Structure 1
Amino acid sequence: MKKTTKQIDFLGRYGYVILSVIFFVLLALYNQTQDSITFNNGEGFDGVKYVDVVEQMRAGEPVAGPAPFVYRLATPYLTSLLPYSILNSYFIINSFFALISGLLLFYWLKKTLGKPLVAFGFVIYLFLHWQASLRFTVFYPADCDPLAIIFVMLGLILLQKLNEHFTWKKVMLLSALIFIGVFQREFILSIAFGIPFLGNCFKIENGQITINKALFIRNLKAFLPVFIVSLLGIWITHLLVITLENGYGFIHAIYRWMHQKSVFMLLAGFFYTLGILLIFPFLFPKSAVSVFKKHVYLVPILAIALALAWISGGDTERFILWYCPIYFLVIGQVLVDNKSFFLRKRVWIPTLISLVLTLRVFWQIPQYYLDYEGVSYPFFAVFGEDNFSDILATHATKWVTTANLILYLLLSLYFVYWRFVDKIRNMIRWQ
């Protein structure tokens, strides 16, 4: 017991250094083994717009481009300050953001879970994930997600501190953070919706909701100015640029994806992002619910996160990773509370094997091809002569996504069986 405690203390103290070393080792490894995207001369899809913004900033021209990409000014501005080619500058700055987001995730999970080892494991998971900032930046450098994830993590850290001890100074700091954050991505505004639920404002006991009126009014007084300042930031981003007509409409995009993205695609996207870990909170719902009883402010943010995963667009996995700290916290609490179950060989071995496949740990991120006639083989991820579109749940060939979803559901049933094995055996009698 003492030896384990010492190991945990060591990890809590030196975890940041160890994670930084692992990050640079993996970054060097991926640079040698992962080819950059070749589509649109290495600029990718949305990256074409972000490269255009940097070119205009460096030339001292007014920034003009299609919505909503042209409003995302923070990363392109920082990129424009570096004296390298645009793609190399994006790679350098987004790699830096990937490191910082990993260290912030370690800090937040270590504080909320109180288990440095579990927090450490989730950061490694993030470093190995093909869609997360570290690996994806090597493949697709012209991206604006890595810094946005930092704003999410900083916002969650501040909300946690406010939840423990409310001060108006922290509210002002959170307001400034979100105001700057919306210059990066508009969805940073979602962090503000946790403010009305701070403290013990809401309690649920015996099916009855109790609201502390004084706390609720205080929280609303804190929320309104933060929300208004955040909207002001979004308005300023629209004033600073020239929006070119491209047929984009926010309401139209929501309507389109509500109808186009099925529940099956959405569920497959969650499995593609979180792997079989997704099923664990449903096996131990009390542990999962305990997180939201302690951190009620996460409930509205999670609701927004789930909605954005559905209606924001086709890249479901990317939208889920925006809010990965919340998902990791819930899963982590389940792991901590039910350690004896997850340490069984029949549980951790298939979990580990499936995660290696989900994350594509030993496989490159494939190129995107317009004209493609290769064969993809689904097995918890997509392998073979795969196309980039096939490793995304929404964009893949339907039979590929369906086959993988079935595999995840079958593995889920395997864990359901071992979770409730005694009850199942008592229900079934052989004669």
Structure 2
Amino acid sequence: MPLGILSAGGNNLLTQIYQIMMILSFLIFPALIIFGPKLMVWQVDRKMKDALLDLESYKDATEAMFLEKLTSEPKPGLKDKMHSLKNFQMSAPTQLDPAGMVQKLEHVLDTSEAKFDRFVRNHADTEDEEELADLTMAFKGVMGTNQIYKVMNHFRQLIKKTQNFQMVGLVNMMMPIYKEIAEAQKDATRAFINQAPTGDGIGPLVAAKLIESEEEPEEIAEDVISSEETIDGNTVHVVKSRGPGARLGKYGDAVETLAEENDLEAVITVDAAGKFEGEETGSVYEGVGVMMGGSGVEKTKIEEAATDHNVPLEGVVIKQAPPEASKPMKKEIYEAYHEAVDKVNEIVGEYDGEVAVVGVGNTCGVGNTRSDVAGVHNRLRKFWKEYEEQEEEDVSYQGMMGVMPGGDSAQMEELKKNILWNMPR
């Protein structure tokens, strides 16, 4: 067959294929416009359904752990009261008149703490103050996992009803964040029930390691103790939450009292801090300012006291991912106390005079003195074994919360008020 005929036949075939593809594209393009968003909504709905199953399991497991520890013989009304508090709502003070905002917020937070405490005391089998403190903190995990489940279910129902595919990208980003927070709160509840220190307890642990005095530390503010120690010839006022129950306490009032009664040369806060992906868990660094998270009330009060008395604010941070702060303390975090104590001593040595060292964080499972925390690692060994059996390194998605689209939406703000400010860590 002549070459020209083959060439002509090939061109005709290519032309026909091209024409068929053009026709198909004209048919497929409108179909994608019509059915594409519906397909995306369907895919996200399937993913959200699976995520809700996980969130529901976290919620149920957290509630079961709490109830088992709370009482063996439930009193009448427990189920109804718990259902009401699980759906707890907190209305933050108005910012229309910012004067006294810190005091207003503190009052609202104190009221919520008192409400949880009354519930636990009214229904718990135990009267031990340390166990009651642990149970009160554990209930926040019950509340948190329930609230997260409700928020995620809200988004699922909203997408299904409105078929709004623009929300698909936002929800895709939110799902791993919410699952991470819920799982961390479940693990935090488990830690409180077992009186095991969480990652956030590294600050109080460092403080306890500095308290060697044989005298019982003095309570100088609500749920906060202080002990006068001597380090390198300097008088050091070591401050931490009263343990070993799960407490935080009024650090701001404690520092204000110390600043008024003593000639402080510096205030050193020691706390857990969020790490970047790529940073090693348990890394210890120095800083300036008040190393403290939370609602900002205690941090503001410390800053005001330091400013009024012209006291420098130093800091030591132990880096960890946000979920690690809520979960039982990892071995890398526990062992970091050695370096953190050395770093605190080094900073103390830079001053000639009295210094306050504040171990910031939840003091669950962390006693008040060096001798009290000598066996802390024994309560953590079973958790360390579990961590070793995990095949993959934890990846934290919470760093996306501040930069993701909709990070300041009404739903996110509601989550922050009702969960993150009261989040057990």
Between Structure 1 and Structure 2, which shows a larger proportion of strand residues? 2
Into which bin does the TM-score normalised by the smaller protein fall?
under 0.3
Query: Whose Rg is larger?
Result: 2
Structure with more relative contact order (C-alpha pairs < 8 Å, separation 6 or more)? 2
Between Structure 1 and Structure 2, which shows a larger proportion of helix residues? 1
> TM-score scaled to structure 1, two decimals?
0.25
